[in-house]
Structure 1
Amino acid sequence: MSILEVNHVKKIYTTRFGGARVQALSNVTFSVEEGEFVAIMGESGSGKTTLLNILAALDTPTSGSVKLNGRELVVMKEKEISAFRRDHLGFVFQDFNLLDNFSVKDNIFLPLVLAGEKHQQMQKKLEPIAQRLGISELLDKFPYEISGGQKQRTAVARALITEPELILADEPTGALDSRAADSLLDLFGQINADGQTILMVTHSVKAASSAGRVLFIKDGEVFHQLYRGRNTSQQLYQKISDTLTMIASGGVIHE
């Protein structure tokens, strides 16, 4: 069952000075099945960040359709969008987006506070997630007191606590050292194995090779895709690397 359906999405920006038109996305069509782990890759300027913003309901397409569990995001009213985003989407960002004057616990609780949940309910949801992510001992600390890897686990906990239909991850390993990045990717694999749907935008071949499917964006379109199938992460890593090389050189990709 498709949880996310993106059909013929186009995005054209008009520059402030001179009125020039820039086409960021030209015709993006793909779907994500419930329980999938999909990575999106592409060169700088390929349109993947614009696409992520549209999927997150932070931007609207010029034309086309985006549906999450059958709900059309494009026609949603402004006052509905923030509540819909909070209730149905989880976010993991490269720079963590944690509030330094909030404890780890309060950062994780924030979307539930905004949703008006009672403290007892929030605490009940937090305990198994914190234990799962190995941050139970950090809950009373502040973001400036913990490592980058611990900050990103806090951000993942904040994304998971609302029980979202879809987690959107924007370069989640970008600010991490290799050890913390590997740990985060292992964690993504575990929560995906439990049924969580994840869509990740990344420049990292290693991060993308942890996904079940990789979409390549070029010139504002889905140019190619790779499925993990029976490939190991190392085999998928090599296929991703080869595909990126072919895209950069303008070569033809053979199935």
Structure 2
Amino acid sequence: MSLLEVNHLKKIYTARYGGNSVQALADVNFTIENGEYTAIMGESGSGKTTLLNIIATLDRPTSGTVRLEGQELSTIPERRLAEFRRKNLGFVFQDFNLLDTFSIRDNILLPLVLDRMDLREMDRRLKMLSEQLGLGELLDHYPYEVSGGQKQRAAVARALITNPRLILADEPSGALDSKSTETLLRIFEGINRQGQTILMVTHSTRAASHAGRVLFIKDGIVYHQLYRGNLTVDQFYQKIVDTLTLITTGGRTNA
């Protein structure tokens, strides 16, 4: 069984009082296997953020299904959604979403505190992640005292600390400089090699070139996909650039 299955997903937004309707997703179909690192690319308005929000249970589809390890997400009661996200999904956002009144330590531990986890287990997980992500000297600092790259590493630690089935990353490098971006992308590759499944929405060709597969969204459907295979990051980067050019100009794409 695939980890994530998206079948015939459709989303239509209708304005109040019978206004115009906007179709964000038309018929989206794809699967994600355990341990995959997949990027989603597309022009603004292509539906990729809507797709991510539905997978994150932050929005509901008009029709179609999303299943995580066989569980259809639309059947989860509203009162259980927050718990479901904490236990199954890790989130990394462009704007970090850290609480300025909490230390880096407390921001990372927050999902475990909400689940009332044993303190010893919380400390064990925090120690392991802070060493892995180079956060040991920053744990007692506050978000406003550290750099954007350090904030994003803290956000990655917060996403990982629950041992999620799936990491959802929304433009994770969008607010970072080039050096911090490369550090983040190396971290993503590292945690993926350890078996973590990642689904990332990005405009950045450089970010997408670090993934193992890229899905291209156009007009509310998965228009094309590329597999990295044995290509280097630079080779995959060029292949993505060429594909984006063909999609934009209406040319034919080849797998």
Identify whether the pair has TM-score above 0.5, normalized to the shorter chain. Answer: yes
Name the counterpart of 1:7: 7
For 1:217, the equivalent position in structure 2 comes to 217
Q: Secondary structure at the match of 2:64?
A: strand
- The CA deviation at 1:75 is 1.3
User: Any idea what SS the aligned residue of 2:74 has?
Assistant: coil
Structure 2 unaligned blocks of 5 or more: none
What residue is the counterpart of 2:156 in the other structure?
Answer: 156
Distance 1:31 1:171 in 2: 21
TM-score normalised per structure 1:
0.98
Provide the residue aligned with 1:121 in structure 2. 121
Q: Which residue of 2 is the match for residue 65 of structure 1?
A: 65
- What corresponds to 1:112 in structure 2? 112
| 1:200 maps onto 2:200 in alignment | yes
Following the alignment from structure 1 to structure 2, what is the Cα–Cα distance between the partners of residues 162 and 33?
Answer: 20
Alignment of 1:20-169 (within 5 A): 20-169=20-169
Q: What CA distance in whole angstroms lies between the structure 2 residues aligned with 1:25 and 1:109? A: 35
Q: Deviations over 1:84-108 (max 9, x none)?
A: 0110000000000000010000000
Amino acid corresponding to residue 193 of structure 2 in structure 1: A
| Residue of structure 2 equivalent to 1:16 | 16
Q: Return the alpha-carbon distance in structure 2 between the equivalents of residues 229 and 88 of structure 1.
A: 28
Deviation at 1:74, TM superposition (A): 1.1
Instruction: State the SS of the aligned residue for 1:124.
Output: helix
Give the counterpart letter for 1:127 in structure 2: K
Determine if the alignment matches structure 1 residue 235 to structure 2 residue 232. no
User: Structure 1: where are the runs of 5+ without partners?
Assistant: none
Output the CA distance in 1 between the equivalents of 2:253 and 2:104.
46
What is the rounded CA distance, in whole Å, between the counterparts of 1:188 and 1:161 in structure 2? 14
Task: Give RMSD over aligned pairs.
Answer: 0.9
1:165-220 residue CA offsets vs partner (Å, 9 max, x unmatched): 00000000000000000000000000000000000000000000000000000000
Number of the residue aligned with 2:251: 251
Paired position in structure 2 for 1:177: 177
Q: Distance in 2 between matches of 1:184 and 1:67?
A: 28
Matched AA of 1:32: I
**Aligned residue type for 1:54:** I
Q: Give aligned-pair identity as a percent.
A: 65
What's the CA shift string for 1:126-157, capped at 9, x where partnerless? 00110000001100000011000000000000
Shift in Å, 1:15: 1.4
Aligned-pair distance for 1:17? 5.7
Q: Deviations over 1:213-246 (max 9, x none)?
A: 0000000000000000111111110111111111
Q: CA deviation at 1:250?
A: 1.5
CA distance in 2 between counterparts of 1:17 and 1:221 reads: 28
Q: Distance in 2 between matches of 1:233 and 1:25?
A: 30
Aligned equivalents of 1:5 and 1:183: distance in 2? 30
SS at match of 2:3: strand
CA distance in 2, matches of 1:196, 1:35: 5
Matched residues, number: 255
SS in 1 for 2:244: helix
